[in-house]
Structures are given as C-alpha cells and as structure tokens.
Amino acid sequence: MDFDLTQEQRQILEYGDLVAQKFDRKYWMDCADKHVFPEALYQQVADDGFVGTMVPEEYGGAGQGMVEMHLFLEGLSNNGIPLLNLVVGAAMSLGFIAKYGSEAQKQRYLPDACKGKTRFCFAITEPDAGTNTIRTATMATRRGNRFALNGQKTFITDADGADHALVVARTTPHGETAKKTDGFTLFVVDMKAKGLQKQYIPVSIPAPETQWQLFFDDVDLGPEDIVGEIDKGFGILFKSLNPERILVGSICCGLGRYALNRAVDYVKERKVFNNVPIGAYQGLQHPLASARTDVEMASLMTLKAAWFFDEGGEAGEFANMAKLAAADAGIKAVDTAVQCHGGNGFTREYGIFDIYPFVRLLKTAPLNREMILNYIGEHVMGLPRSY
C-alpha cells in the first residue's frame, strides 16, 4: 500500500475545501435544522462527477474506487459538511448496481443517478430484526414469474427524496432454507410504486437527510427488478455493507478534524490570564494533541480498509475496525473542542456542540460498537461466538 496520494487523489481530498467556499458549514446547518435535503450542494457534487465516483465511465461515472470515495467524503467532512446520502446512495446503491446489476439495470439507473437526476436509498433495517438480518421478515412472494413484496423497513435514510430503493427481502422463508443465509434477494423498488407507503421518523439530530419507515403492501416486482440471483443475495449483500462502514469512518475522521481545527483557532486567540493565549497551556494542548492523534490513526485505518476493498480482499476486518476507531476518535475530538471553548462551545454562534449529536449517532449507526467488537472478537481473533 502506497501512503503517498497521487496528484488526482490529492485533488479529490481537497475538493471539499473548494466546494465549501460556496456550500459551507452554515449552509449545511441551515439544511440540517430544517431537515431539508441540500439539493444545490448535491447537484454541484453530481455536476463535478463525484456522485458517480464508483460507477464505471461507460455508465456516466468516474470509474474510481473506494479509496477515492473515502478521500472525497473525508474532504467534505473536513469542512463540516457530511452527506449521508452519498454513503447509502452513491456508494452502497450505485456501487452495488454497478458491480452486481444486469446490463439493462446499469443502463437504466446509473447514468441519471450519476447526473443527480435521480437518487437511491438502501432499505435493510427492520423494526423486529435490527442488526440481526437473518430475521428479516419482508417477503417477496412468487406470483408466476413476478413477486409481491410485503413487509416493513425502518430508519431508511433519505427515503422521501429517493426515486428508487435497493430493498433486501426474503424470497424463501427462513424455515425452508438449507442454510440460514439462503433465501435473500435484492430488488430495485420504485419509490412511487403502488402499495408502498412512507412514514416520517422524527429524530433529535440535526441532519439534512430524514429518516423514514417504509411499508410494502403487495408491491409488484418483476425479474427486471432483481439485482443478482434469486435466493443468493446474502453474500453480495454483506459485501455492500463494508463500504458503509468505511465511509462512516471517513465522515467521523473529517468531522473530528473540523472540530479540532476550530478549537485550535479559538485557543490561539482566547486569553484569560496573564494576557497569554489559553492554547499555550498544556491542559488544553495535550487533549487536543491526543485527539488529533486518534483521528489520524483512525484515518489511516479507514484508508487501509478502502485500499483493501479496492484490491478485492475481504475487507470486513478493516472496515469494522475503521468504523470503530473513527467513531470513537470523532466523539473524542468534538468533546475536546467543546471543552476548549468553555461556555462558548455550547452556543449556536460558535457551532461546535452542533457537531456532537451527528458523530455520536455514528457510534451507534449503521452498526453499533458492541456488534463491531463481537465481529472482531469472533472473525478476527477467533474467539467463540458470543451471541
């Protein structure tokens, strides 16, 4: 692995600095406070070719990999402008279709999505399944050569703005399969399809992307809507979850840097005693230095996970470690920045505490810290299964 980025990769990382000149943290917070999707920023990103980062050029994308997607999202987050839709839509959904979809699906969905004309969401979580995907109850029942989709999904990011959803469903009931991982199929579902209803989930976290429950009542699907093979979707499904964990790591590292940079600027100017900037005190320097070290270590693990994914390796080990380390580092960085600001850290004017709910969310979502530790213990260290 070469840690020296190419000139093109550096430009991708620095793109966040460029786009933030027009769409800055204030713009993002205005959208977040109103729970309004940042359409203008998203379209700018699409026009500049970044929505299709992981889509081959022949389908309107940039033909890049996970490393470039990581650098792009980390660069945006370095400026305090994280976009979760780019994780669930651009990376998970478009990247998934580009890799596993039929030629007809690639031609139908990818060019418009890369241009920002359409958006995708990813529907896997269920109220009674949570992280235990094996218990997925949403069923696509055969009706001749077609399927009727019935069930419910929850915490689906940007479902209200998405044109299509990549939906994980069972096509064979759990009790009728040879292996518990058999019987899963992935479908592309039109969000305006008959029988599909949405219900808004109010959340306490400022974010432009909203959360929704989806209800499927005999939604008609055909063979053209299946991504991959019938009943064989579990293996490719879990490969699609590694990008999510990697890119959540990218966002956490970027937001951690953003908070620390704001804190450094503040403590270099703030004076309380003896006309000396408070940044000269070790009581502030050491927590800031420690937090920055944790962020940079997490960033390296995230880069390694992205590189390993692009190399075709089983990236689960590094993707989970990256998400774990980055979420913890991001929380520590923001907490340290708040503490350095004192009472000002809690004001709207300084905008530091506003970052905390978002990074704290990413300690729990999309996979909680405890399940990640279970994965590392079992699959990396060879410990007995604990659940």
Amino acid type, 153:
K
Here the tokens at position 354 are: 């506003």
Instruction: Kindly report the number of other CB atoms within 10 A of residue 382's CB atom.
Output: 7
Helix or strand (DSSP H, E) at 122: strand 120-123
Same fold, 7-118 and 121-230: no
| CATH superfamily membership of 121-230 | Butyryl-CoA Dehydrogenase, subunit A, domain 2 (2.40.110.10)
What whole-number distance in Å separates Cα of residue 146 and Cα of residue 221? 6
What whole-number distance in Å separates Cα of residue 302 and Cα of residue 325? 9
**Which pLDDT does position 3 carry in this prediction?**
73
Answer for the pair 323, 248: CB distance below 8 angstroms, yes or no: yes
3-state helix, strand, coil in the chain (%, to 5): 55, 15, 30
State the pairing for strand pair 164-170/184-190: antiparallel
Q: Topology of domain 235-380, per CATH? A: Butyryl-CoA Dehydrogenase, subunit A; domain 3 (1.20.140)
Question: In the predicted model, what is the mean pLDDT of residues 80-91?
Answer: 94
What whole-number distance in Å separates Cα of residue 276 and Cα of residue 283? 14
The sign of the dihedral angle between the CA atoms of 317, 318, 321, 322 is: negative
Residue % of the chain over a pLDDT of 90: 90
Q: What angle do CA 28, 33, 35 make, to 5 degrees?
A: 85
pLDDT in tens, 114-170: 999 999 999 999 998 767 777 899 999 999 999 999 999 999 999 999 999 999 999
CATH number 3.40.50.2300 is the correct assignment for the domain at 7-118 = no
Please provide the DSSP assignment of 302-338 as one string: HHHHHHHHHTT--THHHHHHHHHHHHHHHHHHHHHHH
Report the SS3 class of residue 301.
helix
Answer for the pair 149, 133: CB distance below 8 angstroms, yes or no: no
pLDDT in tens, 171-216: 999 888 888 889 999 999 999 999 999 999 999 999 999 999 999 9
Report the SS3 class of residue 322.
helix
Q: What is the DSSP secondary structure assignment for residue 232, as one 8-state letter?
A: B
What whole-number distance in Å separates Cα of residue 214 and Cα of residue 198? 5
What whole-number distance in Å separates Cα of residue 305 and Cα of residue 320? 9
Mean pLDDT of the chain: 95
pLDDT in tens, 325-363: 999 999 999 999 999 999 999 999 999 999 999 999 999
Distances from the Cα of 300 to the Cα of 249, 250, 271, 304, 306, angstroms: 10, 10, 35, 6, 10
What whole-number distance in Å separates Cα of residue 180 and Cα of residue 136? 11
Answer for the pair 154, 165: CB distance below 8 angstroms, yes or no: no
**Which pLDDT does position 1 carry in this prediction?**
63
Give the residue extent of every domain in the chain: 7-118, 121-230, 235-380
Write out 50-77 in H/E/C secondary structure: CCCCCCCHHHCCCCCCHHHHHHHHHHHH
Instruction: Kindly report the number of other CB atoms within 10 A of residue 22's CB atom.
Output: 10
Residue 343, CA atoms < 13 Å, CB-side half-sphere: 0
